Amino acid sequence: MSFEKFNFDQKIAAGIEACGYTTPTPIQSQAIPEVIKGRDIMGLAQTGTGKTAAFVLPILQKLTQGPRRRVRAVIVAPTRELAEQIHENISQLGCKTGLRSVAVYGGVSKFGQLKMFKSGVEIIVACPGRLLDHLDSRDLDLSGVEMLVLDEADMMFDMGFMPAIKRLMKYLPQKRQNLLFSATMPNEIRHLADSILKDPALVHINHSRPTALVSHKLYRVEKSGKPALLNHIIQDTTVSTALVFTRTKHVAKKLAINLEKAGHRAVALQGNMSQNKRKAAMDGFRLGRFNIMVATDIAARGIDVSGISHVINYDVPATVEAYTHRIGRTGRADQTGEAFTFVTGEDRGIVRQIEQTIGAKMIVQTADIKYSAAPVNNQPAAPGADGNRAGRSADKSGAEARSGSAAPKTPWGSKKAQGRGGEPQRRNGGGQNKASNPRRRRSAPLGVDFSSQPQRAGAKTGRNSA
């Protein structure tokens, strides 16, 4: 099966060939004919399965006929990175058609966007906030829009964009074709779909599970041991290109800085960065100047970088859906990938939910940590398990100082790798450990067996910050 069966315009076919597309994916095979017929679409598929081309190609096909230099299609995306990526895909696939698009989002000057509006574009790819700014200022007329696409609608709901989407509808003509695509479909988004889609064609491609090309591995670790574990994995495994996900912007920034100081080609991507810095980080990661990107969930959607070998969940995501989107950054385009997740005792509830979703138990990994990683959040690194200089000089009252010799190499989770009471030794406080301080909250020790502990109903982590 090839793209020839769709009978695309020759100029579009040339763009497909230039991009190296040969065989349509299942979502493309099922969605493209329905879009060309003019039907509304609800498309659900795993990340990395070609959803973008599933709506970009038929849009280009329909817009090759009809007027030019007026807005005829609007694509709404939740993040700047995703909007920019869709715009780039349109430019590549439609390079021979003469159709023009513009990416519209905040964080940059309106001047360039206004200039494109005045010169005439057929397709607008936008984040809701900046698009509404232009509409409220009467900079833009959408009365001639024929097609509306809501991409990653579940994330738009999670980010609080639904009121903006409803406002946007008032600027659009009632008669139009509506396309809704996502990797997950919570009930709230299903209600939205029911309100805007008319007799839609339903395209479901195993949307609730991550791709089977990704292996899922779990590392049990104390929070304080995460930096050392990450450094160990990056140095001692086959990590070529990795996305590391953290829960907060602050940790993403600090972790990227410390990885860079340790000699890695690392960069951060998080919401506090200016748009120019975010774009520079993405371009550098895509072009290979950086091989490690540390990001919040802002990067869980809209990053289509070929050859990402590993996704590392430094912090467990808040929801199963977020896990699905994170993991979708690897194992794309029929390539295999690995997903590593760092978990503490507090994460066992969400871990079980993830395992139910992927339909298998995560593979439990162990690591023989031989050194200390750079500290994160200005906290000292955990001492190395082999009694290296950082470990010995950190606390002379620790386990290795008491024994008077370097401890043998032991997997994390072993009592030999821990201090008194099964907890890692603190590097300050004269050898006092966490267990001896009743005011400090204890997390589960390394190597805790999640399967033997009762599950907390509705266990959740904090909401990720993008």
The phi and psi torsions of 303 (rounded to 5 degrees) equal: -105, 110
- Helical H segments across 262-327, by residue range: 275-287, 320-327
pLDDT band at 329 (very low <50, low <70, confident <90, very high): confident
State whether residue 62 is helix, strand or coil.
helix
Superfamily of domain 3-205: P-loop containing nucleotide triphosphate hydrolases (3.40.50.300)
Cβ atoms of residues 76 and 147 within 8 Å:
no
Higher pLDDT, 291 or 366: 291
Q: How far apart are the first and last CA of the chain?
A: 40
pTM of the complete model:
0.63
Higher pLDDT, 209 or 112: 112
Model pLDDT for residues 123-162, shown as the tens digit of each residue: 999 999 999 999 999 999 999 999 999 998 877 877 788 8
Mean pLDDT to the nearest integer, 58-84: 94
Distance, in Å, from the CA atom of 341 to the CA atom of 322, rounded to the nearest integer, reads 13
Confidence check: pLDDT of 336 > 60: yes
Q: Which CATH number fits domain 214-452: 3.40.50.1370, 1.20.1630.10, 3.30.1330.40, 3.40.50.300?
A: 3.40.50.300
Cβ atoms of residues 96 and 14 within 8 Å:
yes
Q: Which of 28-42, 71-85, 431-445 has the lowest mean pLDDT?
A: 431-445
- Output the pLDDT for position 74: 98
Q: Which of 64-73, 295-304, 321-330 has the lowest mean pLDDT?
A: 295-304
Confidence check: pLDDT of 291 > 60: yes
405-439 residues labelled b (16+ CB within 10 A) or e (exposed): eebeebebbbeebbbbebbbbbbeeebbbbeeeee
Distance, in Å, from the CA atom of 300 to the CA atom of 354, rounded to the nearest integer, reads 16
Mean pLDDT to the nearest integer, 271-295: 89
Confidence check: pLDDT of 62 > 90: yes
pLDDT band at 309 (very low <50, low <70, confident <90, very high): confident
Count of C-beta atoms within a 10 Å radius of residue 302: 23
- Output the pLDDT for position 438: 44
Structural domain spans, the chain: 3-205, 214-452
Model pLDDT for residues 416-461, shown as the tens digit of each residue: 444 444 444 444 444 444 444 444 444 433 433 344 344 444 444 4
- The answer to whether the 3-205 and 214-452 domains have the same CATH topology is yes
Q: Which of 30-44, 229-243, 324-338 has the lowest mean pLDDT?
A: 324-338
- Output the pLDDT for position 157: 78
250-273 residues labelled b (16+ CB within 10 A) or e (exposed): ebbbbbbbbbbeeebebbbbbbeb
